[in-house]
């Protein structure tokens, strides 16, 4: 509120004036000098009482009038911004509100208001301004993008759903969110379809193609001031504690600067256990802790960047290395240009670094597989009983296994099958369809289109036992699976019916192959032994009977109970950076969620110029309420006239004889 507005509203204190005038008037009547006053009779008090009652009504009217006058003076200065949609020929509008609930939206836009608050208020304005026939859907753009509310014409339901949306520490996935929004709009009957982007556009891909809706759907970006300003930001993306040493990995975007890193007690953030200076441009700092330091500690960056929420992170307790083992026959799956097998080269392309370890053979003891969160078997020639037992035990314990089945796997000698990992008898077929059905390969996202003409020279046919209770992640045109997933115990087995060699197909050269490896590693980390994920990813619990949990957001002292979905393999979103405390089948387990590196880059993604077209609507920054206030004033004047007209006429008072004599 501006000074002038305050000044105008201050005039409202004049409401005391009529009260004072009324009291003064009541105290002393008008004095008239009249020599013959002694002949007058004092009027009975009834007349004065009537006057007093009439005055009180008028007094209230005048007090309200003064307040309205003060408001009238202030209205030109009162800003009441709200977002409103402009309709084409008054037609109904189907809107999908893409609300960005990512970490970057928690930055402050103005004092006391975050970008998320602004986006949510704008969404509420749009819902409040709904006309009959308008429909609303809500898609949340925090990774993973998801539908929060399916399209509905019930504004109250939309309003209630919007109230449930809370800010998170997720990364941003606007591309997927807009894609989902487009899918939501596909079946709606309204002629005017719009995707309303309420985001800062900081999705970590500033150089990506401009965001657009396509398919006859209008993309509308109503809040240009919400756009991120490319500010500098640093975040703690990884922490690890070994004995009394804490390693803190920091990533920065924008101009690097020297920062102070502290390790504090999780239960008492004021207790600093150790600190170090992170030089500008450095990404890793080690901090030595004193003896008898508490087990649960947090790492904290000194303030001074755009986002404060990613400046603090829980420190992982001496985590085990979660490596991925690869067993591939270099002779069978060789590359003409030389080098390791395609699977290893694929992992190398993903830059997973030393976590990928080639295996020469499958260990015979499950303990030897302890460091591995995932193992890839590229067309293995069957498993010996010892190997089979080891692998089954490892997978049931939570390991994630990727097996490509090719000629060698189908030709495994008797007694060297895969057991419960791949039930039944698998066969090789030299006849295969031209490619996959992209619509049935959501696992590969847009990369599935690259498999439409893969034309393999053969494929493995799985028995019904193997596909039963399995999830088909990608299928050929004839419906037979290319990739499926089976849950075994707490772990998972991914089965590819194409081997990763180049003789059968060039599957290993397609982008979808890298997607497969990336998802596999991710699943290995989240669903396997790994206990640390990026905020927005999910914790998986496979093969457990009961899970309870709560999250202690970093920097906060109050825990939040988690809603655990029912089922054999519950997956829980890690929406907040912090420490997740689970009770899995009665056993306590702590997992961590840290900031995503993608969310550090606050440079905005480009958006199609049409999205800012004023013809779509916009923000009415100020509402001139003066006409309404003026109308209210006129109404009060009429009311006062009515009160005067309807007040009882002067009654003839019976005169009284006595007169008062002043002392």
Partner 1 sequence: MSKKDRSPFAPYPTDWGAFAPLRLRARTVAEGVYAGMHRSVRKGSGVEFGGQRPYVLGDDLRFIDKRSLLKHERMMIREFETETDRALWLIVDATASMAFRGSGPGSKYPFAALLAASLARVALSSGDPVGVVVLGGEDGGRMVRAGAGREAFDRVVWALSSVTAAGDWSSEEDELARALGPVHDRARRGSTIVLLSDFVDLPPAAMAAVGALGTRGRRIFGVQVLSPDEIDLPFDEHARFRSLEGGVVVDADPAAVREHYRQKLAELRQRWSDDLVGRGGGLILSSTNDSPVDVVRSLLLAVSGASAPDETTRAAARGGRSR
Is residue 662 involved in binding partner 1 (CB under 8 A)? Answer: yes
Task: Give me the sign of the Cα torsion angle 333, 334, 335, 340.
Answer: positive
Using CB under 8 A as the binding rule, the residues of this chain from 564 to 583 that contact partner 1 are none
Is residue 331 involved in binding partner 1 (CB under 8 A)? Answer: no
Q: Which is nearer to partner 1, 478 or 651 (CB)?
A: 651
Q: Closest distance between partner 1 and the C-beta of residue 42, in Å?
A: 5
Q: Which is nearer to partner 1, 58 or 639 (CB)?
A: 58
Beta-carbon contacts of residue 229 (< 8 Å; ≥ 6 apart): 602
Q: Please say whether the beta carbons of 171 and 596 come within 8 A.
A: yes
Q: Closest distance between partner 1 and the C-beta of residue 656, in Å?
A: 9
Using CB under 8 A as the binding rule, the residues of this chain from 6 to 35 that contact partner 1 are 28-35
Q: Closest distance between partner 1 and the C-beta of residue 59, in Å?
A: 17
Radius of gyration of the chain (CA): 36
Dist. CA 639–CA 59, nearest whole Å: 12
Q: Please say whether the beta carbons of 428 and 381 come within 8 A.
A: no
Q: Closest distance between partner 1 and the C-beta of residue 8, in Å?
A: 36
Question: Burial level of 557, CB count in 10 A (0-12/13-18/19+)?
Answer: exposed
449: three-class secondary structure by DSSP: helix
One of 1, 17, 40, 642 touching partner 1 (CB under 8 A)? 40
**Part of the chain binding partner 1 (CB under 8 A), chosen from 156-164, 211-219, 240-248, 655-663:** 655-663
129: three-class secondary structure by DSSP: coil
Beta-carbon contacts of residue 351 (< 8 Å; ≥ 6 apart): none
Beta-carbon contacts of residue 176 (< 8 Å; ≥ 6 apart): 143, 144, 145
Q: Closest distance between partner 1 and the C-beta of residue 641, in Å?
A: 19
247: three-class secondary structure by DSSP: strand
Q: Which is nearer to partner 1, 361 or 654 (CB)?
A: 654
Q: Which is nearer to partner 1, 40 or 80 (CB)?
A: 40
Is residue 615 involved in binding partner 1 (CB under 8 A)? Answer: no
E-state strands within 52-159: 82-85, 93-99, 108-110, 113-114, 135-140, 146-152
Torsion of CA 469, 471, 477, 479, to 10 degrees: 10
User: Of the candidates 238, 240, 236, which has an alpha carbon nearest to the alpha carbon of residue 289?
Assistant: 240
Q: Which is nearer to partner 1, 49 or 434 (CB)?
A: 49
One of 42, 80, 284, 642 touching partner 1 (CB under 8 A)? 42
One of 27, 270, 621, 661 touching partner 1 (CB under 8 A)? 661
Q: Closest distance between partner 1 and the C-beta of residue 648, in Å?
A: 14
Q: Closest distance between partner 1 and the C-beta of residue 45, in Å?
A: 9
Q: Closest distance between partner 1 and the C-beta of residue 33, in Å?
A: 6
Please count the residues of the chain.
663
One of 3, 24, 38, 90 touching partner 1 (CB under 8 A)? 38
If one counts every other C-beta atom within 10 angstroms of the C-beta of residue 276, the result is: 16
- Cα–Cα–Cα angle for 511, 514, 515, rounded to 5 degrees: 90
Q: Please say whether the beta carbons of 172 and 598 come within 8 A.
A: yes
Q: Which is nearer to partner 1, 33 or 303 (CB)?
A: 33
Dist. CA 64–CA 632, nearest whole Å: 10
Q: Closest distance between partner 1 and the C-beta of residue 25, in Å?
A: 11
- Pairing mode, if any, of strands 471-475 and 538-540? unpaired
Contact mark string toward partner 1, 43..82, x via CB under 8 A: x---xx--x-------------------------------
Q: Closest distance between partner 1 and the C-beta of residue 49, in Å?
A: 12
213: three-class secondary structure by DSSP: coil
Q: Which is nearer to partner 1, 567 or 655 (CB)?
A: 655
One of 292, 318, 545, 652 touching partner 1 (CB under 8 A)? 652
Q: Which is nearer to partner 1, 36 or 360 (CB)?
A: 36
Region at 419 (left for phi over 0; alpha for psi -120 to 50; beta for the rest): left
Contact mark string toward partner 1, 621..650, x via CB under 8 A: -----------------------------x
Is residue 39 involved in binding partner 1 (CB under 8 A)? Answer: yes
Q: Which is nearer to partner 1, 47 or 348 (CB)?
A: 47
Q: Which is nearer to partner 1, 27 or 558 (CB)?
A: 27
One of 3, 36, 645, 646 touching partner 1 (CB under 8 A)? 36
Q: Which is nearer to partner 1, 37 or 566 (CB)?
A: 37
Tokens, residue 395: 């997978």
Q: Which is nearer to partner 1, 27 or 621 (CB)?
A: 27
**Which residues are bridge partners to 429 per DSSP?**
459
Q: Please say whether the beta carbons of 83 and 617 come within 8 A.
A: yes
Site residue total, partner 1 (CB under 8 A) = 29
Residues that bind partner 1 (CB under 8 A): 28-43, 47-48, 51, 650-653, 655, 659-663
């Amino acid at each position: 509120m501006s000074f002038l507005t305050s000044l105008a509203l201050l005039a409202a204190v004049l409401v005391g004036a009529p009260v004072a005038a009324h009291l003064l008037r009541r105290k002393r009547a008008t004095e008239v000098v009249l020599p013959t006053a002694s002949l007058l009779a004092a009027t009975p008090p009834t007349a004065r009482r009537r006057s007093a009652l009439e005055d009180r009504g008028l007094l209230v009217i005048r007090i309200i009038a003064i307040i309205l006058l003060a408001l009238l003076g202030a209205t030109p200065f009162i800003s009441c911004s709200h977002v409103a949609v402009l309709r084409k020929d008054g037609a109904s509008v189907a809107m999908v509100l893409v609300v960005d609930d990512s970490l970057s939206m928690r930055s402050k836009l103005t004092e006391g208001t975050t970008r998320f608050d602004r986006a949510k208020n704008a969404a509420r304005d749009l819902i409040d301004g709904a006309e009959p026939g308008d429909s609303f859907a809500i898609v949340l753009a925090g990774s993973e993008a998801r539908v929060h509310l399916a399209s509905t014409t019930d504004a109250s339901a939309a309003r209630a759903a919007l109230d449930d949306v809370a800010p998170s520490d997720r990364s941003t996935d606007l591309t997927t969110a807009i894609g989902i929004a487009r899918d939501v709009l596909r079946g709606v009957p309204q002629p005017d379809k719009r995707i309303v982007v309420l985001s800062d556009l900081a999705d970590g891909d500033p150089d990506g193609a401009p965001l657009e809706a396509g398919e006859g759907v209008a993309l509308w970006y109503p809040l240009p001031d919400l756009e991120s300003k490319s500010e500098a930001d640093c975040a703690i993306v990884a922490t690890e504690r070994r004995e009394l040493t804490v390693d803190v990995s920091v990533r920065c975007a924008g101009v690097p600067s020297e920062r102070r890193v502290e390790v504090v007690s999780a239960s008492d953030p004021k207790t600093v256990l150790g600190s170090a200076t992170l030089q500008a441009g450095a990404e890793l700092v080690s901090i030595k802790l004193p003896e008898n330091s508490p087990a649960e500690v947090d790492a904290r960056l000194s303030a001074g960047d755009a986002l404060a929420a990613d400046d603090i992170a829980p420190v992982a307790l001496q985590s085990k290395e979660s490596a991925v083992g690869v067993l591939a026959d270099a002779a069978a799956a060789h590359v003409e240009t030389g080098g390791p097998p395609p699977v290893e080269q694929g992992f190398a392309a993903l830059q997973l670094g030393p976590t990928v370890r080639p295996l020469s053979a499958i260990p015979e003891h499950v303990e030897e597989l302890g460091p591995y969160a995932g193992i890839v078997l590229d067309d293995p020639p069957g498993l010996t009983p010892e190997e089979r037992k080891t692998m089954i035990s490892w997978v049931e314990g939570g390991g994630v296994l990727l097996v490509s089945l090719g000629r060698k796997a189908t030709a495994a000698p008797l007694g060297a099958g895969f057991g419960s990992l791949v039930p039944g008898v698998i066969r090789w077929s030299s006849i295969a369809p031209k490619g996959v059905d992209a619509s049935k390969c959501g696992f590969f996202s847009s990369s599935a289109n690259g498999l439409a003409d893969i034309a393999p020279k053969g494929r493995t046919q799985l028995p019904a036992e193997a596909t039963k209770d399995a999830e088909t992640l990608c299928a050929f045109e004839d419906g037979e699976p290319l990739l499926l997933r089976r849950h075994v115990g707490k772990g998972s087995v991914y089965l590819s019916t194409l081997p990763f060699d180049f003789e059968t197909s060039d599957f290993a050269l397609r982008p979808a192959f890298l997607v497969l490896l990336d998802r596999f590693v991710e699943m290995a980390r989240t669903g396997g032994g790994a206990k640390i994920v990026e905020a927005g990813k999910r914790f998986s619990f496979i093969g457990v009977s009961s899970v309870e949990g709560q999250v202690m957001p970093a920097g906060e002292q109050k825990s939040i109970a988690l809603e655990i979905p029912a089922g054999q393999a519950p997956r829980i979103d890690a929406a907040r950076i912090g420490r997740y405390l689970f009770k899995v089948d009665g056993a306590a387990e702590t997992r961590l969620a840290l900031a995503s590196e993608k969310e550090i880059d606050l440079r905005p993604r480009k958006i199609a110029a049409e999205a800012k077209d004023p013809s779509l609507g916009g923000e009415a920054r100020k509402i001139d309420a003066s006409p309404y206030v003026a109308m209210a004033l006129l109404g009060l004047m009429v009311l006062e006239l009515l009160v005067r007209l309807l007040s009882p006429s002067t009654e003839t008072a019976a005169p009284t004889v006595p007169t008062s004599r002043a002392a």
